[in-house]
Structure formats: structure tokens, C-alpha cells
A and B are shown apart, each in its own frame.
Chain A
């Protein structure tokens, strides 16, 4: 499934 990677932006 479409894994939401951690948000790396502020």
C-alpha cells in the first residue's frame, strides 16, 4: 500500500 513516509519538511 502507499506508505506515507515521515514528513521530512518543517
Chain B
């Protein structure tokens, strides 16, 4: 474990807590893409298949359980919870996310670290996570103004993988046989997708103005 990865995990956790706070405090999920949340639940479920087979550390196991439970809770909330469900922008959240699932799975079958069930699903989860934010960014552009908590949620979500990039650079230089190029390349794509959001988020922070993405 290194400071970059720990900071990355904490930033990821903060993003989830901010989203839970938004949904709980405002009893609304307006501006949040259910499709992105479903993709994230799938990412965690397929990435942590080794939850019961490979014990890395208490921290690792606890965080995996937290990520799986919170992502499922958010999807459940947005689908089942009467009050929250009504605020869901159903007509705006129309990204065909099953295409992302199909594409990432096809890529995972072709490009993986080892042609085993677990490794194919691990690679699938890595590719899917890179593009999972797309429905959310599309929804953001369509819904125009963004409430603060949603903006912060997306900011922390993007920042966590940027910290992981630093973690991989650090591990590359400090560990003899470290090569996670699938996660690294995918992480660069993932962070790149946030580039324009980060730009407008920075502008809104600098000008102390509301976060506006150009339609």
C-alpha cells in the first residue's frame, strides 16, 4: 500500500458517501444516472469475485464489501425507494449502457492477463469502470445545471482514478515485477473522460459560479 493508492481509495469512498448524502439528504436522485450506478454495481460484483478466495488484508476485504454494498444500495434506492424513484430523470438517462457491457466483455475475452473465468471478469470490470461514467456525463450535459453534491460526487469519482495513476507510477519504480498495464491503460482512458468535466468544475470553482456544462 502507498499513499497514492490509500488517498485514491479514500477519495473513492468519499465520492460514494457524497452520493449517499445527496440521495439521503435531498431524498432525490435528480441529476444522477441510474445506468452509471448499475454499471458500477456490475464493476464491483465482477471485480471482487475473489472476495472469498484471495484474502489480501482486512482493509481490502472491508473496502470490497463497502463498495459492493453501497453500489447495490444506491441502485436499490433509485429503483425501489418511492420518494427517490420519482425524482429520477428517466427520460434523460437514455444512454444504451448495455452496449458498454457487451463491448467491454468482448474486449475482456480477447485482452486479459490470463484466460480464466476470474481474470476475464477482472479485465471486464476494469474496462467497464473506465466507461461507466459515460451515461452520467451525458445526463449531466442534458440536464444543464448541476447541484453541488452531484458535481462533487463526479469530481471525487474522477480524482480517485487519477490518484491510482500516481500509484501505478510509484509501484512501477519501486517494485521489481510490477506490471498492471491493463489497469493502467484503462485508468488513463477513464481519467481522460473526466478531462472536460474537470475543466468546467475548475472554472466554476475559480469563478465561484454554478457548474455549467455546455449543452
Inter-chain contact A10/B122, CB cutoff 8 Å: no
Contacts of B5 in A (CB 8 A): 9
How many pairs of residues, A versus B, come closer than 8 Å at their CB atoms?
24
The binding surface of chain B is classed by DSSP as: helix
* Contact of B89 with A by CB under 8 A: no
Cα-based distance from A9 to B184 in the complex (angstroms): 12
Chain B residue contacts of A10, Cβ below 8 A:
9, 12, 60, 63-64, 67
Q: Is B63 in contact with A7, judged by CB distance below 8 angstroms? A: no
Contact pattern, B 31-57, Cβ under 8 Å of A = 1, otherwise 0: 000000000000000010010001010
For A2, A4, A8, A9, which residue has the most chain B Cβ atoms within 10 angstroms? Answer: A9
Chain A residues with CB under 8 Å of B9's CB are: 10
Number of B residues whose C-beta is below 8 Å from A?
A: 19
Q: List the A residue with the shortest CB-CB distance to B57.
A: A8
Besides the known contacts A7-B47, A10-B63, 20 further A-B residue pairs in the complex with CB atoms under 8 A apart: A2-B114, A4-B113, A4-B114, A4-B119, A6-B50, A6-B54, A7-B50, A7-B54, A7-B122, A8-B56, A8-B60, A9-B5, A9-B164, A9-B180, A9-B183, A10-B9, A10-B12, A10-B60, A10-B64, A10-B67
Binding site for B on A (CB under 8 A): 2, 4, 6-10
Pick the 9 closest A-B CB pairs, nearest first: A6-B54, A4-B114, A8-B56, A4-B113, A10-B63, A10-B9, A7-B122, A4-B119, A6-B50
